[in-house]
């Protein structure tokens, strides 16, 4: 064997390193003009077979290598900034493709390999055009661009992860790719574990029946889960980060038991179906201007956070619900919120069986707020609500003392033997309810320290279950017009 050549055994065959020389040339299954058995050595070797390594290094020259569909190798290493390796057809390599320097131009075709790596700070270009990579590997760093300094990704980059077995774990590390350089990954099969770390365009798990491991990640495009997969729980945050366009989130019945932050600036996110987070996980609606399109779906999270002043909108479509399942002082946290707008039909339902707080403020016109759990609901801030309702009898709603809460309706009710309590946060110091016009009629409420004002009529007749505890002003506790029978027949929690 010539000096400088490397060979070893693979499956009973000698494995050889073949070095490209001479710059521009064709790589197919016949030409030997550009192959040597040593770096910068004599031509006439090769071409490499599926059991050999193809190496492009500092002695390979400048120009373009055109890889025909018949070009083969086990593994490919590209490490020369003056060289472009360009596909001229669909090409399959059995091993690792490494881009250390230079350009790998997929040129609209399909490049199949076991795995891919390009983690360094050299100038390098990965050009997809409208082509894609198909990575067949398992139990490996399937994609590794942990260091993305001077890496440019062009075209419409798509990587299909096609392994269909159960051997864990496939790790996909993209590093800090920018939104412009981000890559879409399709995990099309397998029952193994997959770990996605860092930043991605679209992520699609259609066909995957394994487990998505937990890690911090940012998604600039769509996130699609499959009905047959599972997801590891934990505190690492998944960030929806698009600065333009619409991200579509498809859960397919999965619970995402980790925090999600919507933190784009100019983009929007739309729910394709119910989005459910774990009972201790926060959905954070952060930067703007952005649109969260609930699309007539339900968003359920342990807590909901939106405490900033950037312009942002929550669109409910024909009817959406934000369900807050958690408890405590930060269950719904928007005390510093401003420039937050609701469109369409939205309801916010606080469902915990333990005490929970809705922390709002005067800068937002809130939609309907529902006391949906047995745990006491405390409202803080000077808020305006379309309605305050309850779906659990015998619960408590506490309004902030010395503060005006403005409502379009008040649909609170209880039942005989299970009164719902409406009270001020400070005994003896009234909380004010204000409605400008029309009237309110409530049933089976225990009312304490609530001042009813604003021009509307406020009726809480004692003969339909209401209790005037103390400290109330502005309420009419007398029998409503038409007598007790008519009032009861009008239903519970009526606005008139």
- Report yes or no on 314 lying in a domain: no
- Report yes or no on 20 lying in a domain: yes
Strand (E) or helix (H) holding 262: strand 260-262
Q: Coil, strand or helix: which one is 254?
A: coil
* C-alpha separations of 251 from 163, 212, 246, 461 in Å: 22, 13, 16, 47
Q: What secondary structure letter does DSSP report for 153?
A: E
- Which residue spans within 412-456 are E strands per DSSP? 420-424, 431-434, 439-441, 445-448, 450-453
Residue 277: what pLDDT?
98
- Report yes or no on 25 lying in a domain: yes
Cα atoms in the 13 Å half-sphere on the side-chain side of 108: 1
Residue 45's domain comprises: 1-113
Phi-psi region of 279 (alpha: psi -120 to 50; beta: other; left: phi over 0): alpha
Residue 265: what pLDDT?
86
Neighbouring residues of 66: CB distance < 8 A, sequence distance ≥ 6: 25, 26, 27, 86, 88
Distance CA 399, CA 448 (A): 10
- Report yes or no on 359 lying in a domain: no
- Report yes or no on 11 lying in a domain: yes
Q: What secondary structure letter does DSSP report for 101?
A: E
- Report yes or no on 204 lying in a domain: no
| Measured distance between the N- and C-terminal CA atoms of the chain, rounded to whole angstroms | 97
Output the pTM of the full model: 0.92
Q: Do 289 and 310 meet the contact criterion of CB atoms below 8 Å apart?
A: yes
Say how many domains are in the chain: 1
Residue 481: what pLDDT?
55
- Report yes or no on 199 lying in a domain: no
**Nearest partner of 104 among 121, 453, 123, 120, judged by Cα:** 123
- Report yes or no on 95 lying in a domain: yes
Distance CA 185, CA 160 (A): 6
Residue 482: what pLDDT?
54
Tens place of pLDDT per residue across the chain (496 aa): 333 444 444 444 478 999 999 999 999 999 999 999 999 999 999 999 999 999 999 999 999 999 999 999 999 999 999 999 999 999 999 999 999 999 999 999 999 999 999 999 999 999 999 999 999 999 999 999 999 999 999 999 999 999 999 999 999 999 999 999 999 999 999 999 999 989 999 999 999 999 999 999 999 999 999 999 999 999 999 999 999 999 999 999 999 999 999 998 888 999 999 999 999 999 999 887 889 999 999 999 999 999 888 889 999 999 999 999 999 999 999 988 888 999 999 999 999 999 999 999 888 999 999 999 999 999 999 999 999 999 999 999 999 999 999 999 999 999 999 999 999 999 999 999 999 999 999 999 999 999 999 999 999 999 999 999 999 999 999 977 554 433 433 334 444 4
């Amino acid at each position: 064997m010539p000096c400088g050549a490397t060979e070893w055994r693979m499956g009973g065959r000698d494995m050889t390193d073949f070095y490209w020389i001479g710059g521009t040339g064709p790589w197919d299954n016949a030409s030997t003009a550009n192959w040597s058995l040593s770096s910068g050595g004599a031509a006439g070797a090769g071409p490499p077979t599926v059991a050999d390594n193809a190496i492009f290094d500092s002695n390979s020259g400048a120009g373009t290598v055109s890889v025909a569909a018949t070009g083969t190798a086990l593994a490919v290493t590209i490490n020369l900034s003056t060289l472009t390796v360009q596909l001229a057809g669909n090409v399959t390599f059995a091993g690792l493709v490494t881009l250390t320097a230079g350009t790998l131009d997929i040129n609209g075709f399909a490049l199949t390999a076991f795995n891919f790596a390009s983690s360094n700070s050299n100038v390098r270009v990965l050009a997809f055009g409208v082509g894609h990579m198909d990575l067949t590997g398992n139990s490996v760093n399937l994609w590794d661009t942990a260091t993305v300094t001077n890496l440019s990704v062009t075209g419409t980059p798509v990587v299909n992860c096609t392994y269909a077995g159960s051997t864990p774990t496939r790790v996909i590390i993209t590093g800090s790719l920018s939104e412009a350089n981000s890559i879409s990954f399709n995990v099309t099969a397998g029952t193994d574990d997959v770990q996605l770390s860092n930043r991605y365009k679209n992520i699609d798990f259609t066909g995957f029946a394994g487990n998505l491991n937990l890690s911090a990640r940012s998604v600039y495009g769509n996130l699609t889960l499959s009905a047959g997969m599972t997801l590891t729980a934990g505190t690492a945050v998944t960030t929806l980060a698009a600065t333009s366009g619409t991200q579509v989130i498809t859960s397919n019945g999965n619970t995402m038991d980790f925090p999600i932050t919507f933190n784009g600036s100019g983009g929007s996110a739309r729910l394709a179906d119910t989005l459910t987070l774990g009972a201790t996980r926060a959905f954070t609606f952060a930067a703007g201007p952005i649109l969260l399109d609930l699309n007539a779906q339900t968003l359920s999270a342990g807590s909901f956070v939106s405490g900033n002043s950037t312009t942002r909108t929550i669109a409910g479509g024909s009817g959406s619900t934000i369900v807050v399942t958690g408890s405590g002082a930060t269950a719904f946290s928007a005390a510093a919120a401003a420039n937050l707008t609701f469109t369409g039909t939205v309801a916010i339902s606080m469902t915990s069986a333990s005490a929970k707080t809705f922390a709002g403020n005067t800068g937002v016109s809130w939609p309907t707020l529902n006391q949906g759990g047995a745990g006491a609901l405390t409202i803080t801030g000077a808020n305006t609500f379309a309605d305050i309702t309850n779906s659990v009898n015998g619960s408590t709603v506490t309004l902030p003392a010395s503060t005006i809460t403005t409502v379009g309706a008040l649909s609170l009710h209880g039942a005989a033997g299970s009164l719902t309590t409406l009270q001020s946060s400070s005994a003896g110091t009234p909380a004010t309810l204000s409605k400008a016009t029309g009237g309110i009629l409530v049933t089976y409420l225990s009312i304490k320290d609530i001042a009813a004002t604003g021009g509307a009529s406020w009726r809480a007749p004692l003969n339909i279950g209401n209790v005037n505890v103390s400290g109330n002003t502005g309420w009419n506790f007398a029998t409503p017009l038409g007598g007790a029978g008519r009032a009861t027949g009008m239903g519970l929690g009526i606005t008139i």
